[in-house]
Structure 1
Amino acid sequence: MDPQTATQTLAALISNSNPQSNSTRANQLDSANQPLPVATRRISLTPFDKRVYTLLLQIPPGSFTTYSLLSKSLNSSPRAVGNSCRRNPFAPTVPCHRVVATGGSLGGFKGEHLSKIVKKTTASSDKEISRTTKKTLFTLDQKRNLLKKEGVRFDPTGQKVLGTPYAGFQCTI
């Protein structure tokens, strides 16, 4: 998708996701002639998130890129790009699943990650209980399946993508 269309697509996604007056939204029907749901929370993106999502929309289906290549186009760090992908409220329409690690592995974006939860016990005790839980936002199997449906090739183990990463980004924001 060209940069101008990507910018317009993102603006439309944000606009359609934000609350509108009931009279405007209630009169709109989806493809099954059902009323569209009225959005209940406002989507607010940082300027950096908008830049990341606009570049993600430029990655053609069947292609992939790396966090590193994307971050170089943004004069940022791969970690910042990964954090932005994790916050993406429009996945998979804004295709964060097309971003992989430099070595081609899928890890990262909305995959399983460990969250450390620290709880204090009762006031009579000053002990802290620490436990680690696995939080799944978007499984790696789902990411792999989306990429395969789009035509991305994998190694025989299905753990790494094959081919040359997309690098034709044009920043417009």
Structure 2
Amino acid sequence: MPPERLELEKFRFMGSLSRNQDDASNRQVTVTQRNTSPSPSKIAVVATPSGTTNTGGVEPIGAQSAVDYPSDNKSRARYRTSTGKRLTPYQWKVYDYLLTIPRGRVTTYKGVAAAVGGSPRSAGTALRNNPFSPQVPCHRVIASDLFIGGFFGEWVKGNGEQPRVDQKRALLAEEGVTFDEKGYLLRRGLLL
């Protein structure tokens, strides 16, 4: 099966970049960031089986980093977050679904819940705890009223400083998804 190619924009990765090297049979998907354009804001993400590389026919420019996304039950059972916690089967379903949301499109918390089961609140909780963000693009999920919503547990609360939500807004703007000054989606056609 050819590698899945996801396009992301420049971001500050806040998660762990450690790789599990304990077991050669540990099948995981490696998500690799590669800067593929003269503009430092463009990053291509290529998902391939662990231990292989795929530049997508483009030579990387600049720094490269990777994060392992377990793709089978055995490696998922062994996976632990940076705090040592296991992810629930529901969280894995949410993260797998997020990988199907195309660049430049968004869905709602309600849409995620409808796709994988559960409630919009449980989907939001899984997104808040996403250890693979932004490679697993939780920034592409907004509120049902088309409000930008939250990011990493931070929700817009008036006109105060909101660095996480501003980061979400910047990630989406780089993908062509824009919001008005009050935080509402400008182009409804981008909603899945």
How many positions carry a matched residue from both structures?
Answer: 123
Match of 1:68 among 105, 110, 113: 110
Moved over 6 A (4+): 30-34
Report the Cα offset of residue 33 of structure 1.
9.5
Match of 1:146 among 167, 171, 174: 171
Max Rg structure: 1
Structure number with higher relative contact order (C-alpha < 8 Å, ≥ 6 residues apart): 1
Match of 1:19 in 2: 20
Establish whether residue 42 from structure 1 lines up as the match of residue 80 from structure 2: yes
Residues 84-103 of structure 1 correspond to what in structure 2 (within 5 A)? 84-103=126-145
TM score, norm. by length of structure 2: 0.53
SS of alignment partner, residue 141 of structure 1: helix
Could you tell me whether the CA contact under 8 Å between 2:105 and 2:190 is conserved in 1?
yes
List alignment gaps of at least 5 residues for structure 2.
Answer: 6-16, 25-50, 54-59, 68-78, 156-161
Could you tell me whether the CA contact under 8 Å between 1:86 and 1:110 is conserved in 2?
yes
List alignment gaps of at least 5 residues for structure 1.
Answer: 7-15, 114-135, 168-173
Could you tell me whether the CA contact under 8 Å between 2:97 and 2:116 is conserved in 1?
no
Match of 2:120 in 1: 78
Q: Work out the CA distance in 2 between the residues paired with 1:66 and 1:33.
A: 33
Percent same amino acid among aligned pairs?
41
Report the Cα offset of residue 59 of structure 1.
0.5
Report the Cα offset of residue 45 of structure 1.
2.1
Report the Cα offset of residue 161 of structure 1.
1.4
**Cα RMSD (Å):** 3.7
Q: Work out the CA distance in 2 between the residues paired with 1:165 and 1:62.
A: 7
User: For the structure 1 residues 69 and 21, does the alpha-carbon distance in structure 2 shift closer, same or farther, using more than 3 Å as the test?
Assistant: closer
Give the structure with the larger helix fraction. Answer: 1
Report the AA paired with residue 21 of structure 2.
Q
Comparing 44-53 and 142-151, the one that deviates more: 44-53
Q: Work out the CA distance in 1 between the residues paired with 2:63 and 2:179.
A: 40
Report the AA paired with residue 81 of structure 1.
A
Q: Work out the CA distance in 1 between the residues paired with 2:112 and 2:23.
A: 39
